[in-house]
Structure 1
Amino acid sequence: MSITGVIAGAKIAGIAASLYTAWTAWRTMPDSVIRRKLMKVFKDGQIVKTIKRPPGTKLKDIIIPPKIQRVSIYQDRIQAVFTVPQGVNPEDVHKHLWLFKQAFGELVELEGEVKTFVLTIYRQDMVTFDYDYEEIAPKLTGLHLPIYVGRSRHGDEFYDITEFPHLLIAGETGGGKSATVRSILATLIKTAGERMKLYCADLKRSEFHLFRGIAEEVVNDTPKLHTMLLKIQKELINRGKLLDKAELANVLDLPEKERPPFIVLAIDEVALLKKEKDIMSIIEDISAIGRALGVFLILSMQRPDAQVLDGKLKNNLTVRMALRHQDEINSRITIGSGEAAEILNSQRGRMVFKLDGLKFVQSPYLELSKAKTLLAPYKRHTEALPLSPPVEETPEEQPIEWGGLQ
């Protein structure tokens, strides 16, 4: 072989080696690895669109997998965005979450409802943490009634219950429900102060003793709860008249000096009330008209009950927190999805938070003794004052019917 041939061969070999090195590097890049694993998940789960060939033809059916739009790599996570072909049921994506976890590990979240989905792969899990009001307080500025949920993998999660009214908290024993409710009410008390009146019903006599002397009332049985609800019912009517006279739609539209205090009604183990039709009727009416009148529900229970969370009440509980649930059926009753059944026994305080989608959040741990110290300055030594003065009717005024409340 001539020298020229040897040189040419060496160049070709060098180019081939460079190409092989580049190809090997490309194959082992996170972007490429993620794409390959995703395509395998689509194939294994049959998350594809299949176009059948006419009978008798030897050609194979056409298989169209989802299109991976991009893979973004961050310090704490990797995100893959993909779109499914027209005609693929979005539920086929979510029901194969277990396949995504097999491919990428337990620390994944899958978001999307119609065509575009985002798979987020986290490098480390959320950790438990203690409640620290001083740390979160600056972030709650400007919210009328802030609900501090906890920390997701994106940071602190909070919202204003006056904007997203009524909250359901559900979770089995040992899941962290008590500490979650405790921290939520403590935050409301410290931020709202005199702008809020708290009413509590503790039907198992185990949760709300902490708030005696702070709440306007803490009741432990259904007759007393019914009496308390009748008072709130009258207040709803009074506020309806107030808004009607002012020709306004929401108490927040009133001048601040004329605005009645917000009312928060917290009921633990609301499932025990499913046979109390009179009580449930008032609770349902509050869920329907409470936002405009400044009255908000925080309902909690260990096991979700489809008979309680039915119809109007369930639809009006716009925000839900599902801590550990016993099974997928119970999880679906609470949040319409099975994710809460996947929370481990060791993940105390972990929840699926439902507000504009689902996300995993770790709620803060607020120990009872710490809560007592935190709330001690708010203990009242005098009788609670009336919510607001009654609005007198003139002879020309007709009795008001307000959302079924007489």
Structure 2
Amino acid sequence: MVKVKLIQTLKARNKLIKAFKEGGIYKTVGTDERKIFPKIHQIPNGQYDYYVFTLPNGVDPKLLKKKFYVFQQIFGDGVYLDGEFKKFTLSIKESKKIPEIIYDYPKLLEIIKKENILLPIVCGGDENEKLRIYDATNSPNLLIYGEPGSGKSSILHVILSTLIQYYSTDQIQLYLADFKMSELNLYEGVEHVKSISYLTKDFAPALTHLKKELTKRGQLLKDHKVRHINKLQDGQKPPYIVLCVDEFVMIKDDDIMTDLLQIASLGRAYGIYLILSMQRPSHRILSTEVRGLLSVRMGFRTVDKRNALIGETPGSEKISKDQPGTFLLNLDELAELRAPYLNEDKTEKILMPYKKADWKNHNYKKQEVIERPEETKQQQALTEKDVFADVIDQS
């Protein structure tokens, strides 16, 4: 019996060492480049169902996240990694189906208030049906992707309709772009929505306006010597802005992409946040620069492993078709969740009280104030360095 347990222990240990080898998770020392692997403190046995290990000093902990797919390849889908800098726990669990979750705004509102979330982005529930909502002011710029029927459209409705119900029009503004003309047209008429673009020629002026808004807000922060709009008093604080672009892969204009990246890079401090949606991640669109600006990813079922890896949610290609709405959330670490289900008919009913008969598309143009020439010149010259140079010690 003791011998059997010893053999099982060695097999479990060797399995983890194999993952370290194939993932390149080790440190090399000496002229002979001797490999030093993470130190294993605990392995699964009758008492525990997880490994505990520590990284050698000098090994980047981000490597574990980058190579997480190696653990999945060796141990299966039901692996979870937890840790921060040096000590990590690798749990081995059987994959469980997450029950269907129905959209319930009062329940979401309770969580938002309890956790004091400033800009709530609803994600979904885990296998224990615990709902997860994150704060976009801490984790800006979201990428959502997945093939048709995976639940990508539903989560967009969940996120946008929740923001509309939670915030008044003087607290949040929505700028939408729907280049397939199929998902976001039901938001026409909603008072929170300042613009819905269906063509890139309509989208470009909206981005130009938002770039002006960046400059305006940058000057506001500089004047009040703060680093984020949340530090401003209520009477001074401008509304949050959410820019949601569905199927942004269809943007072929380099100038538009440049403007989009500028907004994404500066938007966090200024209260402007980006949601990008697409069916298939590709290196052509998700360049290193773009990926670097995206803090959060929701990977619904993808066509293949390559798409999942490009989107940085390894394993999303394995999500079953009989589990619509199931996705992998990449926020600090990978977590499997199921998005609340919200179809177009129910979304329409939710939005109806917020629609105005006199609503006009692209009505942000009404708000643009004619500035004096010297003010315009000053604002155009403003950079991020100008805004923050004299408030470094006041954050």
TM-score (norm 2): 0.79
Pairwise CA distance, 1:135: 1.3
Q: Which residue of 2 aligns with 1:147?
A: 121
Cα deviation for residue 198 of structure 1 reads 0.6
Residue of structure 2 equivalent to 1:312: 289
After superposition, the C-alpha distances for 1:332-363 in whole angstroms (9 at most, x for unaligned) are 2111x522222222221111111112211111
> Whole-Å Cα distance in 1 between the matches of residues 68 and 152 of structure 2?
30
Q: What is the CA distance between 1:96 and its match in structure 2?
A: 4.0
Q: Are the equivalent residues in 2 in contact too, given 1:238–1:390 (CA < 8 A)?
A: no
Instruction: Tell whether 2:215 aligns with 1:237.
Output: yes
- The correspondence for 1:118, drawn from 55, 78, 89, is 89
AA of the residue aligned to 2:267 = G
> Cα distance, 1:167 vs. partner?
0.8
Give the whole-Å Cα distance in 1 for the aligned partners of 2:239 and 2:133.
21
Alignment correspondent of 1:183: 158
Where does residue 199 of structure 1 map in the other structure? 175
Partner of 2:230: 252
Paired amino acid for 1:325 = T
Q: Which residue pairs with 2:330 in the alignment?
A: 354
- CA positional deviation for 1:171: 0.9
Q: State the shift of 1:325 in Å.
A: 1.4
Query: Match of 1:59?
Result: none
Choose 294-303 or 63-72, whichever is displaced more.
Answer: 63-72
SS in 1 for 2:173: strand
Partner of 1:325 in structure 2? 302
Q: Which runs of 5+ in 1 are unaligned?
A: 1-19, 52-61
The one of 268, 275, 295 equivalent to 2:246 is 268
Q: Secondary structure at the match of 2:258?
A: helix
| Residues 1:70 and 1:204: Cα distance change in structure 2 (over 3 Å) | same
Query: Following TM superposition, by how much is the alpha carbon of 1:67 offset from its aligned partner in structure 2, in angstroms?
Result: 2.2
Deviations 1:133-174 (A, max 9, x none): 111111111322100111124622111111211111111112
Q: Which residue of 1 aligns with 2:378?
A: 399
CA separation of 1:100/1:402 partners in 2, compared to 1, >3 Å: closer, same or farther? same
Contact 1:151 / 1:361 at 8 angstroms: preserved in 2? yes
- Say if 1:145 and 1:192, in contact at 8 Å, map to a contact too: no
Selected match of 1:162 from 118, 137, 146: 137
User: Alpha carbons of 1:230 and 1:38: their partners in 2 closer, same or farther (altered >3 Å)?
Assistant: same
> 2-side partners of 1:181 and 1:145: how far apart?
15
Which residue type is aligned with residue 109 of structure 1?
Answer: Y
| One-letter amino acid of the structure 2 residue matched with residue 129 of structure 1 | I
Change (3 A) 1:390 1:258: farther
| CA-to-aligned-CA distance 1:88-143 (integer Å, 9 cap, x gap) | 98577751423322xxxx53334458754323344643222111111111111132
Residue identity matched to 1:327: D
Residue 198 of structure 2 is matched in structure 1 by: 220
Report if aligned partners of 2:13, 2:43 keep a CA contact under 8 Å in 1: no
TM-score by length of 1: 0.77
Distance 2:123 2:45 in 1: 28
- Matching residue of 1:17: none
Q: Is the 8 A contact 2:248 2:278 kept in 1?
A: yes
The offset of 1:306, in angstroms, is 1.5
One-letter identity of the residue aligned with 2:216: N
Identity of aligned residues (%): 31
**1:306 partner letter:** H
Instruction: State the structure with bigger RCO (CA 8 A, min sep 6), 1 or 2.
Output: 2
Q: Quickly say closer, same or farther: Cα 1:223–1:389, change in 2 above 3 A.
A: closer
CA distance in 2, matches of 1:190, 1:376: 11
Partners of 1:145 and 1:80 lie apart in 2 by 36
The equivalent of 2:392 in structure 1 is none
Amino acid at match of 1:399: Q
Contact 1:319–1:355 (Cα < 8 Å) also in 2: yes
Q: Per the alignment, in what secondary structure is the counterpart of residue 252 of structure 1? A: helix
Alignment CA distance shift 1:45-1:78 (3 Å) = closer
Amino acid at match of 1:67: I
Deviations 1:170-222 (A, max 9, x none): 11112110011111111111112321011111000111012111122212111
In the alignment of these two chains, the number of paired residues is 361
Cα distance in 1, alignment partners of residues 173 and 356 from structure 2 = 12
Question: Which position in structure 2 is the counterpart of 1:38?
Answer: 12
Alignment of 1:6-21 (within 5 A): none
Which AA in structure 1 matches 2:208?
A: L
In the other structure, the counterpart of 2:350 is 374
Please give the alpha-carbon distance, in whole angstroms, between the structure 2 residues aligned to 1:118 and 1:235.
45
Q: Distance in 2 between matches of 1:260 and 1:63?
A: 53
Distance (Å, rounded) in 1 between the aligned partners of 2:219 and 2:334: 38
Partner of 2:80: 109
Q: 1:282 to 1:361 in 2, by over 3 A?
A: same
Q: Is the 8 A contact 2:19 2:70 kept in 1?
A: no
Aligned to 1:12: none
Counterpart for residue 174 of structure 1: 149
Deviations 1:354-374 (A, max 9, x none): 111221111111121111112
